[in-house]
């Protein structure tokens, strides 16, 4: 790799030295704080620590960028030698053969993650010659059992570099998270890149949200695990990092976990988790009932043999998650537990069987949609008990100043699976039932579109997004900016009425489900909706929706 590679390594060492000096300064300031009695001076010292920790985080980011640059340089080096990167072959040799049966408990999971501890066949990490002999000089038996020398490749260089990196004693939870992320990101991403079947485990780190709508930092608290691993829009891996207390990490992940929803996880009995504190790392079995079982061994990442075991277990975990993903029900539009979706000023957090919706700049939202909090709040509460509309789990709430909004609702659905005329009828019937309730309570929905309809179970659908409701009838002022897919044809004398909602339903059926609405009775039903001839009650008595009931009663 030449002088350039050596210069990069020197830069990395320099950054690591700077990190150590910053940590030493933090230690000295903490000692000053302990001995300080003046409140103003303590405040200044704490501010100084915050600045130092921020500098430390920036240095770690710089170190990560340099290491990435070094890895890219290795790739260029390999290409310059006209060599073939054998990383994919090396990875396939590391991964376990497909797991025939998923583990049912912590003991079974331990056998998958750490087969060597149970006298079973295990992989060997491919490393470059220099790394192998350095480790063998210190841990001869361990090196012979768990390492092997290979030609230079991207994967072997990454493994060698990780094993030889110095583990710095963490001074904050952020330091712990950074260390864990290095291992998980590098080697799960290697699996994603080189795995021959195209499976990918998507990782996200340090997710956080506000418990309260107050802007005070004192109200901030994480309600989701620090680490999430998703495959096929389903969460299979969660993790929690703490500064020094492993038990605290275990307690936190227990509090944040929720039971596995059988609609999304099927018969799957567990997901994979980890807890980390200081330099310690331990996998955990998280049962579908939220029970936690620690998996031995407890690993200390300050020790090279333990780093080797962790990396091998990460490759084994990837194989395991691939098998778990094969077992879940195939559902379109599924959202992974603890994931989030940002749509403009609206952020939606997906839990096990509910969603938390938060809207910032809520005053502007209300002005744009001509609604207000009281109307939305009343609508959510007035429709309680209807299986066709969202159930309130945590009441709608305004933040301080009224400029932010949140509500938690359930159950959690998924994108409608419409594969026949019968499915189309079920969807139309569910929406009619939802609109019947809203209209009887004096509201119009105003946004009856496919993105606002979710499937709960086969044949049962739910109309969501009550933040668009208004009192009925709603006068459409000439200056009002139409909502999505609105047209003058749906209005009645400049008013949006219950029959306008029915018009939107007819347009949805005609535009989105043309294949399944070709029968004369279906076309007639859509025509009646779009000509505003029927309300929700009358629509529910239409022959197109009633025919199945009559047949089933015969």
pLDDT one-digit tens code per residue, 446-455: 999 999 999 9
Q: Determine the pLDDT at residue 499.
A: 97
Rounded average pLDDT over 229-250: 94
**pLDDT band with cut points at 50, 70 and 90 for residue 7:** low
pLDDT tops 90 at residue 161:
no
Domain of 349, in residue numbers: 339-545
- Can you give the CATH number for the domain in which 509 is found? 1.10.510.10
Q: Determine the pLDDT at residue 321.
A: 94
pLDDT tops 90 at residue 342:
no
**pLDDT band with cut points at 50, 70 and 90 for residue 10:** low
219 falls within a domain:
no
pLDDT tops 50 at residue 217:
no
User: Is residue 72 located within the same domain as residue 129?
Assistant: no
142 falls within a domain:
yes
User: Is residue 124 located within the same domain as residue 179?
Assistant: yes
Residue 338 backbone zone (phi > 0: left; psi -120 to 50: alpha; other: beta): left
pLDDT one-digit tens code per residue, 31-54: 787 777 787 887 888 888 888 888
pLDDT tops 70 at residue 232:
yes
User: Is residue 277 located within the same domain as residue 375?
Assistant: no
**pLDDT band with cut points at 50, 70 and 90 for residue 86:** confident
Say if CB 222 and CB 255 are below 8 A apart: no
Q: Determine the pLDDT at residue 357.
A: 95
Q: Determine the pLDDT at residue 76.
A: 60
**pLDDT band with cut points at 50, 70 and 90 for residue 98:** low
317 falls within a domain:
yes
Rounded average pLDDT over 402-408: 90
Of 471 and 554, more confident: 471
User: Is residue 280 located within the same domain as residue 321?
Assistant: yes
Closest CA to 519 of 420, 432, 385: 420
Q: Determine the pLDDT at residue 213.
A: 41
Q: Determine the pLDDT at residue 168.
A: 74
Q: Considering only 168-177, 202-211, 236-245, 523-532, which range has the smallest mean pLDDT?
A: 202-211
Closest CA to 336 of 262, 230, 255, 410: 230
3-state secondary structure of 198: coil
211 falls within a domain:
no
Q: Considering only 182-196, 246-260, 423-437, which range has the smallest mean pLDDT?
A: 182-196
304-327 and 106-113 helices cross at what angle (nearest 10)? 120
Q: Partners of 231 in the beta sheet?
A: 234
pLDDT one-digit tens code per residue, 410-440: 999 999 999 999 999 999 999 999 999 999 9
User: Is residue 8 located within the same domain as residue 148?
Assistant: no
Decide which of 273, 297, 327 is a domain's last residue: 327
Say if CB 277 and CB 241 are below 8 A apart: yes
Of 370 and 169, more confident: 370
CB atoms within 10 A of CB 276: 25
224, HSE (Cβ side, Cα atoms, 13 Å): 24
333 falls within a domain:
no
Report residue 80: phi and psi, to 5°. -65, -30
Decide which of 297, 327, 357 is a domain's last residue: 327
% of the chain with per-residue pLDDT over 70 = 89
% of the chain with per-residue pLDDT over 90 = 59
Looking at every residue in the chain, the average pLDDT score rounds to 87
CA angle 297, 303, 312 (to 5 degrees): 55
212 falls within a domain:
no
Total tally of structural domains belonging to the chain? 3
User: Is residue 385 located within the same domain as residue 463?
Assistant: yes
User: Is residue 189 located within the same domain as residue 263?
Assistant: yes
Closest CA to 161 of 182, 137, 189: 182
User: Is residue 323 located within the same domain as residue 352?
Assistant: no
pLDDT tops 50 at residue 220:
no
Whether the CA torsion 431, 437, 442, 443 is positive or negative: it is: negative
- DSSP secondary structure string for all residues of 353-403: S-EEEEEESHHHHHHHHT--HHHHHHHHHHTTT-TTSPEEEEEEEE-GGG-
384 falls within a domain:
yes
User: Is residue 429 located within the same domain as residue 477?
Assistant: yes
pLDDT one-digit tens code per residue, 350-392: 998 899 999 988 999 999 999 999 999 999 999 999 999 999 9
Decide which of 27, 53, 82 is a domain's last residue: 82
pLDDT tops 60 at residue 5:
no
490 falls within a domain:
yes
Which DSSP state fits 118? G
pLDDT tops 80 at residue 212:
no
User: Is residue 511 located within the same domain as residue 444?
Assistant: yes
Interatomic CA distance for residues 314 and 193, integer angstroms: 15
Q: Partners of 330 in the beta sheet?
A: none
User: Is residue 295 located within the same domain as residue 436?
Assistant: no
pLDDT tops 60 at residue 210:
no
pLDDT tops 50 at residue 471:
yes
pLDDT one-digit tens code per residue, 107-118: 999 999 999 888
User: Is residue 182 located within the same domain as residue 231?
Assistant: yes
pLDDT tops 80 at residue 157:
yes
**pLDDT band with cut points at 50, 70 and 90 for residue 172:** confident
């Amino acid at each position: 790799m030449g002088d350039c590679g050596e210069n990069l390594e020197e830069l990395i060492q320099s950054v690591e030295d700077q990190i150590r000096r910053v940590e030493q300064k933090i230690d000295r300031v903490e000692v000053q704080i302990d001995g300080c009695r003046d409140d103003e001076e303590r405040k200044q010292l704490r501010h100084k620590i915050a600045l130092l920790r921020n500098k430390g985080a920036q240095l770690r980011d710089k170190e990560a960028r340099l290491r990435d640059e070094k890895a890219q340089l290795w790739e260029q080096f390999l290409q310059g030698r006209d060599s073939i990167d054998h990383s994919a072959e090396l990875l396939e040799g590391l991964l376990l053969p497909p797991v025939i049966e998923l583990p049912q408990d912590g003991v079974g999971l331990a056998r998958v993650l750490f087969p060597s501890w149970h006298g079973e066949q295990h992989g060997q990490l491919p490393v470059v010659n220099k790394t192998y002999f350095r480790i063998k000089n210190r841990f001869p038996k361990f090196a012979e059992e768990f390492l092997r020398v290979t030609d230079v490749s991207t994967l072997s260089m990454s493994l060698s570099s990780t094993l030889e990196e110095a583990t710095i004693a963490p001074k904050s939870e952020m330091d712990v998270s950074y260390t864990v992320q290095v291992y998980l990101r590098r080697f799960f991403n290697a699996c994603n890149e080189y795995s021959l079947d195209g499976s990918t485990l998507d990782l996200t780190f340090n997710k956080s949200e506000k418990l309260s709508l107050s802007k005070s930092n004192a109200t901030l608290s994480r309600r989701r695990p620090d680490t999430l691993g998703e495959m096929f829009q389903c969460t299979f891996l969660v993790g929690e990092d703490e500064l020094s207390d492993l038990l605290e990490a275990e307690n936190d992940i227990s509090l944040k976990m929720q039971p596995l929803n059988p609609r999304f996880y099927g018969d799957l009995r567990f997901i994979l988790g980890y807890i980390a504190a200081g330099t310690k790392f331990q996998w955990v079995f998280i049962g579908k009932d939220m029970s936690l079982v620690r998996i031995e061994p407890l690993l200390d990442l300050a020790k090279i043999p333990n780093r080797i075991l962790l990396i091998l277990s990460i490759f084994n975990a990837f194989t395991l998650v691939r098998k778990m993903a094969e077992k879940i029900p195939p559902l379109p539009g599924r959202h992974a537990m603890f994931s989030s979706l940002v749509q403009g000023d609206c952020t939606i957090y997906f839990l096990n069987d509910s969603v938390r919706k938060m809207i910032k700049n809520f005053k502007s939202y209300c002005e744009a949609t001509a609604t207000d909090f009281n109307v939305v709040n009343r609508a959510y509460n007035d429709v309680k008990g209807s299986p066709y509309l969202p159930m309130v789990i945590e009441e709608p709430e305004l933040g301080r100043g009224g400029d932010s909004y949140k509500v938690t609702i359930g159950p959690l659905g998924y994108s409608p699976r419409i594969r026949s005329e019968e499915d189309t009828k079920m969807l139309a019937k569910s929406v009619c039932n939802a609109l019947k309730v809203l209209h009887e309570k004096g509201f119009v929905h105003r946004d009856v579109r496919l993105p606002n309809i979710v499937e709960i179970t086969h044949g049962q659908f739910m109309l969501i997004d009550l933040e668009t409701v208004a009192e009925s009838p709603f006068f459409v002022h000439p200056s009002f900016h139409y909502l999505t897919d609105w047209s003058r044809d749906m209005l009645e004398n400049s008013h949006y009425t219950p029959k306008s909602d029915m018009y939107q339903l007819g347009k949805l059926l005609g535009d989105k489900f043309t294949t399944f609405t070709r029968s004369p009775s279906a076309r007639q039903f859509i025509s009646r909706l779009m000509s505003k001839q029927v309300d929700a009650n009358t629509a529910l008595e239409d022959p197109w929706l009633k025919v199945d009931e009559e047949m089933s009663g015969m």
